[in-house]
Amino acid sequence: MFTPNAPGAQPLRMEPYRGVDHSVQAMKDGVLSDRGAWSPVVRFWCEHICKRVAPKDYLSEILAIRYWVLSKAPYFNDPAHIEWVRDPQALLEKIQSDGTVRADCDEINSLTGALWLACGKRVQIVTVGFRPPPEPHTHVFVRCEIPGMKDKWVVVDPVAGSRENTMLTQIKSFKTYEMDKPLCHTDSSAPSVDSGSTSAQ
């Protein structure tokens, strides 16, 4: 695990990769920090991204952030045998200087989740398995609940890309992690989500 900006970490700390749950913890460490959702820099970028969205159009805020992140942070594999996770502010600083940042799914998920939290939304990390239990979970993405529409979610999965809906139908088990709480839910059915469209079905 390589977490150059995790709270309290050395700039180039490396640890053995210990699976999806380890990745989730690294994401939470970055998002729930003063360089994540609580960072003024993250909040200012959130306001900038949503500046043309009408007041209280919460779904459009969610989708604007989703679109902006995916356009500014194209997917890029981690180094071989290393889980590389930079914090959201580090990613935004790279976008500020270079216009884009190449990032893997954990970093893209962390950035998206931090921006959603910075504009007051409910965010979950979701780990999934594509084989029935007890097979381990092998994939992670984030989702944001649409305000006023309980259990209707917008998903970001940069690995699946345009095949998000297909990916969601293939899930055999999942866990959800609230971004301000420990693990809160485990299930063997696919989570209810809306993979980025304006439909809440």
* pLDDT per residue as tens digits for the range 8-48: 433 334 566 677 888 898 899 999 999 999 999 999 999 99
Within a domain: 92: yes
Within a domain: 8: no
Predicted pLDDT of residue 186? 45
What percentage of residues in the chain have a pLDDT greater than 70?
81
Cα torsion through 120, 124, 125, 129, rounded to 10: -160
For residue 95, pLDDT over 60 is answered with: yes
Q: Name the H helices within 10-144.
A: 20-31, 40-49, 58-72, 88-98, 105-118
Predicted pLDDT of residue 197? 35
* pLDDT per residue as tens digits for the range 118-142: 999 999 999 999 999 999 998 999 9
Within a domain: 69: yes
What is the pLDDT of the chain when averaged over all its residues? 84
Query: Which pTM does this prediction carry?
Result: 0.83
Domain that holds residue 55: 20-187
What percentage of residues in the chain have a pLDDT greater than 90?
64
Label residue 183 by pLDDT band (50, 70, 90).
very low
Q: Which tokens is 135 given?
A: 């097979």
For residue 196, pLDDT over 60 is answered with: no
Q: Identify the bridge partners of residue 140 per DSSP, sorted by sequence position.
A: 127
For residue 195, pLDDT over 50 is answered with: no
User: At 107, which CATH number?
Assistant: 3.10.620.30
Please tell me the total count of domains within the chain. Answer: 1
* pLDDT per residue as tens digits for the range 147-179: 999 899 999 998 898 899 999 999 999 999 999
Query: Omega of the bond prior to 136 within 30 degrees of 0, cis?
Result: no
Angle, nearest 10°, between helix axes 88-98 and 105-118?
100
Within a domain: 5: no
For residue 1, pLDDT over 90 is answered with: no
Within a domain: 1: no
For residue 98, pLDDT over 90 is answered with: yes
3-state SS assignment for residue 168: helix
Within a domain: 196: no
Within a domain: 126: yes
Within a domain: 198: no
Q: Which of 66-75, 80-89, 181-190 has the lowest mean pLDDT?
A: 181-190
Name the strands in the sheet holding 139-145, side by side, starting at the edge strand that comes first in the sequence. 153-156, 139-145, 123-129, 173-178, 183-187
Predicted pLDDT of residue 101? 94
